[in-house]
Amino acid sequence: MKKFLNNVDDFLTESLAGFAAAHADSVVLHTEPLFVRRRHLQPGKVALISGGGSGHEPLHAGFIGRGMLDAACPGQVFTSPTPDQMIAAAGAVETGGGVLFIVKNYSGDVMNFEMAAESTARKNATVLVNDDVAVDDSSFTTGRRGVAGTVIVEKVVGSLAEAGGDLQACQAFGDRVVKRLGSMGVALTSCIVPRAGRPTLVLGDDEMEMGVGIHGEAGRRRCKMMSANAITAELLDAILTDLSPARGAEILLLVNGLGGTPLGELYLLCDAAHRRLSADGMQVRRTLVGNFTTSLEMAGASLTVCLLDQEILEHWDSPVNTPALRWGA
Amino acid sequence: MKKFLNNVDDFLTESLAGFAAAHADSVVLHTEPLFVRRRHLQPGKVALISGGGSGHEPLHAGFIGRGMLDAACPGQVFTSPTPDQMIAAAGAVETGGGVLFIVKNYSGDVMNFEMAAESTARKNATVLVNDDVAVDDSSFTTGRRGVAGTVIVEKVVGSLAEAGGDLQACQAFGDRVVKRLGSMGVALTSCIVPRAGRPTLVLGDDEMEMGVGIHGEAGRRRCKMMSANAITAELLDAILTDLSPARGAEILLLVNGLGGTPLGELYLLCDAAHRRLSADGMQVRRTLVGNFTTSLEMAGASLTVCLLDQEILEHWDSPVNTPALRWGA
């Protein structure tokens, strides 16, 4: 294992210290319990809190800021954060509008966020993200996994909260967006969890894991390496079969790198996806390409399709100012 | 070799097509000859043009937009673009203010940009970037290599051009910034050039290349893996020995990933660098962390220090709106 680290036990705290130092103007790191929050809160706004195991950076802390999250609770690598983190974060960023927890559907995360939701004194609601169409039930999940589509949920619900949407409206909007999301990923190499020190999954030199989870969980099948066009077709077919969009539907496409794949290859996948979606009669109205929901150093990528409507499009386009996603005035 | 591609000969054109599709609102892709340009030009502004071999994405095309470049000329992977690309780009984006070529110091790039500078009918000047303190002369270079500091040059000179600086002022500012820049990188794994299909450098399971170039060129030494603190100390010592800053100097720190290193590890390096610089009496005023000047899927990172003054700081902070770097109004 070759990684930039000092003591493996300090990996998370040192990494978060670097994050807080780099973005000291906009975020504050709290320890014991561990969470990251916006430096400047907006009174009365619904507070958006997410979190989950580390190793998926920039998810979630990279999306703290105006137009997205108010706080994020990082667990150890691929390990759920604990309820005390979420309760403390809620206490720190709730300013009268209540708390919306955005939770990726993994059993540990769901259980811990539920405990926090029951224990916090703050009014709260939860949006559960389960956009991964690859498999029902998985190593750490009952039901579908929550993956890169989470970024879209955090962006558009964050925008609604910023615009004054109340807790009920934000939750309802989040639930609606989740139903219009589908994702699937493929791994070309494994990730290595620092504490484990060895690859999570063992792939041959000509193999890939189609439908992989963001922790290296098994997907639909282990298969031989294919062309970018063939991989794109298989991912999009799975997603569109699940979403059943109308012909001519307007969509948002997210081409997400899993960590170890060069940006040039992600743009090549983007080209393949645009060609395929166009041939399928879809209209790609917005595209985002980059590493947003990663799996440490895994080489691979996922595609996410979100079926747009006017409300989702407006909240996607609205200004956002976070370390990892930033546009608009 | 496992990469997302169709035909290796189409790698660059497909990747650029995906880039143009994802950013169709702000960039235009030209083929024959190949270059990427801003969609909306500003009459009379000095036009900034950069370029070089592909494989370093988002450099350079990712930095096209308001506040940075007007055009970029991509060569094949790790191969210089040709003068006809630069001449065509100059003709397309020069609007009366002349052209400033920003060139990384590699022999092929230097030769081809010189030919373009002599052949174009447009008034022009050149800034040569040679920020890599690791070695004098290298596989593809006479003198020091140009690496991640190029992003800082493109940002601050782009800002001056946007503010109305003329060609001479932009060139002089660029030359001045280059003298205040130092970078050094380290590779934990090799990259694989698609056409070659095999690793550029062969590193043992416990080895790293200290002072590596962004094409996998040899650095200062091949050595055993060290802690993040020790790596950071060696990189910063080399940079600060070169720059000889005054005690208390204000600096901009760039922690740049070479492609295959997870963001969490880059932030850990950022923490180590902040601690070390602070102990050395430096004041880190600005920090940028991420993949900006990559070497395909190479695991590794580089550190860049820029000695700030008021003018550089103001042009660093000014608004920028490009696919890969974006902030401000």
B230-276 pLDDT, tens per residue?
Answer: 999 999 999 999 999 999 999 999 999 999 999 999 999 999 999 99
Cα–Cα distance for residue pair A107/B241, rounded to 1 Å: 52
Q: What is the pLDDT of residue B186?
A: 98
Q: What is the pLDDT of residue B141?
A: 82
**B298, B190 Cβ separation under 8 angstroms:** yes
Side-by-side strand order, sheet with B300-307: B221-224, B207-210, B181-187, B300-307, B250-257, B283-290
pLDDT along chain A (329 residues), means of 10: 96 98 98 97 98 98 98 98 98 98 97 98 98 89 94 98 98 98 98 95 96 96 98 98 96 98 98 97 98 98 98 98 94
Is B56 an annotated catalytic residue? Answer: yes
Q: What are A39-74's pLDDT values in tens digits?
A: 999 999 999 999 999 999 999 999 999 999 999 999
Q: What is the pLDDT of residue B99?
A: 98
Residues of B in contact with A270 (CB under 8 A): 18-19, 21-22
**B77, B195 Cβ separation under 8 angstroms:** yes
Cα–Cα distance for residue pair A205/B2, rounded to 1 Å: 7
Reported as type and span, the H/E element at residue B22 is helix B11-22
Q: Which has the closest alpha carbon to A60: A175, A159, A153?
A: A153
Query: Does the structure show a pLDDT above 90 at B295?
Result: yes
Distance from CA of B328 to the nearest CA of A (A): 7
Query: Does the structure show a pLDDT above 90 at B137?
Result: no
Q: Which of A206, A271, A326 lies nearest to residue B21, judging by beta carbons?
A: A271
Q: Which residue has the tokens 């604990």?
A: A82
Q: What is the pLDDT of residue B142?
A: 86
Residues of A in contact with B5 (CB under 8 A): 227-228, 265, 268
DSSP state of B9: G
The pLDDT > 70 percentage for chain B reads: 100
Distance from CA of A111 to the nearest CA of B (A): 25
Catalytic option among B23, B60, B215, B315 = B215
Q: What is the pLDDT of residue B139?
A: 78
Q: In terms of DSSP H, where are the helices of B23-124?
A: 83-93, 107-119
Q: Report the CATH architecture of B9-179.
A: 3-Layer(aba) Sandwich (3.40)
Please state the three-class secondary structure of chain A as a single string. Answer: CCCCCCCHHHHHHHHHHHHHHHCCCCEEEECCCCEEEECCCCCCCCEEEEEEEECCCCCCHHHECECCECEEEEEEECCCCCHHHHHHHHHHHCCCCCEEEEEECCHHHHHHHHHHHHHCCCCEEEEEECCECCCCCECCECCCCCCCHHHHHHHHHHHHHHCCCCHHHHHHHHHHHHHCEEEEEEECCCCECCCCCCECCCCCCCEEEECCCCCCCCCCEEEECCCHHHHHHHHHHHHHHHHCCCCCCEEEEEEEECECCCHHHHHHHHHHHHHHHHHCCCEEEEEEEECCCCCCCECEEEEEEEECCHHHHHHHHCCEECCCCEECC
Cβ-Cβ pairs closer than 8 A, A with B, add up to: 182
Q: Which residue has the tokens 């080895």?
A: B207
| Contact (CB<8Å) A62/B263 | yes
Confidence of residue B172 (pLDDT cuts 50, 70, 90): very high
Q: Which has the closest alpha carbon to A252: A181, A158, A311, A178?
A: A181
Q: Which of A60, A267, A321 to mutate to test the interface with B (most CBs of B within 10 A)?
A: A267
- Ordered by start, the domain boundaries in chain B are 9-179, 181-308
Q: What is the pLDDT of residue A199?
A: 95
**B49, B86 Cβ separation under 8 angstroms:** yes
Residues of B in contact with A189 (CB under 8 A): 2
Q: What is the pLDDT of residue A62?
A: 98
> What is the dotted CATH code of the domain comprising B181-308?
3.30.1180.20
Confidence of residue B219 (pLDDT cuts 50, 70, 90): very high
Q: What is the pLDDT of residue B138?
A: 80
Q: Which of B215, B225, B263 to mutate to test the interface with A (most CBs of A within 10 A)?
A: B263
Distance from CA of A77 to the nearest CA of B (A): 10
Q: Which of A227, A271, A327 lies nearest to residue B15, judging by beta carbons?
A: A271
Cα–Cα distance for residue pair A96/A42, rounded to 1 Å: 10
Is B215 an annotated catalytic residue? Answer: yes
